[in-house]
Structure 1
Amino acid sequence: MSDPNKAAITAEKEALNLKLPPIVHPPEDIGVDTPAQSKLLNYRRSKQQQKMINQLVADGAKRSLDRTLDKRTPPIPEPDYPPTMTSEIKKKGFNYIYMKQCVESSPIVPIQQEWLDHMLMLIPESLKEGKEREELMKSLINEVSSDFEKSMKRYLVRSVLVKPPVKWLEDEGGPLPTSPEGLDYSNPWHSSYVQTRNQISANLHIVHPTMKILLDLGYTTFSNSVLLDLTGIRAKGPIDCESLRNDLSIQAKKAEEKIMNTWYPKVINLFTKKETLEAIKPEKLDAFYNCVSTLMSNQM
């Protein structure tokens, strides 16, 4: 019983295998982009047409250019100028002018804004107020910037080019300013400084400390003093010359007495002190007192 069933089942399986198609496995390079596939995928008919059109346009333009060149008249040869018009000096001059224009056309660094701000800070605020003054400040800033640019161009030209000895070339504003030089400290200076200071202290008596005290005395004494008071004389009305002279003489006498009783004793006391004349040598006393006399005369 089992054998016929097994035989039937086997027969059915064989029949099914005959009816189903065989299993086909995909190729291993199905996901790989081969050169043939890349060329086929990248092909565009529009690109080929555009390339053909561009080639036709280029060929037409070339044919038109050739026809135009064939019809053009030959160029006229340059005239032969006399040698005096094309001398070596003239060539050097024109060459210098051309090179100068090339150098001047190079970019120039403008003046820094910090410099302009520092210059504006030195101007008092009272001189910056007002619309007209603001416009004036702007024009001055533009003028300074323009002068700075011109100076930089002139310096650049003189640094790069050598001006040929041609008389008709324009003057470029005189020589350039020399670079500032510092003080020369190669030689000792302290000894000469001390010697000069001692000479000034010994001979320039006006810097003596006593002279300052004398100036202060004169200022406090004569600042509010009136030698001749004419207000009372004007109040009297018309007077004769003799009366006017007597009145003025009396006032001058009173002013002199006041000065001699107040200012003059202080001056005498000042210059009779021992410590005043300690630093003055005996041979310099006459020059010292001459200085005192001149200062007193100027005060009076």
Structure 2
Amino acid sequence: MTQPDIASQDVATLETAPTLYIEGNGIRFAYRRLGPATGNPLILLQHFSGNIDAWDPAVVNALAVDRPVIAFDNAGVGRSTGQTPDTVATMARDAVDFIDSLGFLEVDLLGFSLGGCVAQQIAAEHGQLVRKLILVGTAPKGGEEHLLAVLREAFSQTDVPDPRLPLFFTNSSASRSSGLAFLKRTKVRKDDRDTDNGSAVTDPQAKALIAWCAAPDPGHAILRAIRQPALVVSGSHDTMLPANNAYAMFKELSNAQLVLYPDSGHGALFQHHETFVSHVRTFLDSQPAAE
């Protein structure tokens, strides 16, 4: 399917690409785009409390070697205008407005954590827009979450350099070492960094994620409406959105693959970034099986 031209960002990285802006349905969205000028775009949907600079450059830059990759702030997040919604459905609507504003007719989605919930909603409602989706460290509607308890525990650990270390990684020395390397990578960019809007983002996002998991979804209607190929990924010891969510999604999705990474928490994609990128590339580049 023909896509609109994307300004070439072949030499740009997440750390160096300029932050761009585009208007969509009354919202001024902030975004960065990397990779070649042609190909099916991969849209990144971020985790609870995260902005563009919370993505791991090791993941984003590697994925952008051979495809267009776009990281953006949804409504109210970072430098995007508007108010952060308190429902996944509204977040999905805003994300679709952003995609539409860029003129894309077909995209792939990579949704991490809360972003994975948003990706499910988009894929279920916009079958023609989404070609494939990657769901990482997330949960189905009606799934299991321990957001507030895990956040309280993480922020009580005053001896750690960043709460993402206990939130995203396990207590093993190998996982902690990977976590420190991840944190270092996310801080490389010094100029034009994204902004943290605090509770104006986290309060409604927490409400949205908790409500998504608390709401029953009889017959798994959302998952069964998703007909696109899906790659479901989780860490073995995800304390925020446990790995049994990944297995539940894998069972109910009509065309899914499941990958579980060892000795890893919510940030398994950052700890095992080389393997994760390899899995994503293989998945996105594979042709659908003949029926």
Q: Shorter-chain-normalised TM-score: which range?
A: under 0.3
Hey, which of these two has a bigger chunk of strand by percent?
2
Hey, which of these two has a bigger chunk of helix by percent?
1
TM-score, with structure 2 as normaliser: 0.17
Greater RCO, 1 or 2 (C-alpha within 8 Å, sep 6+) = 2
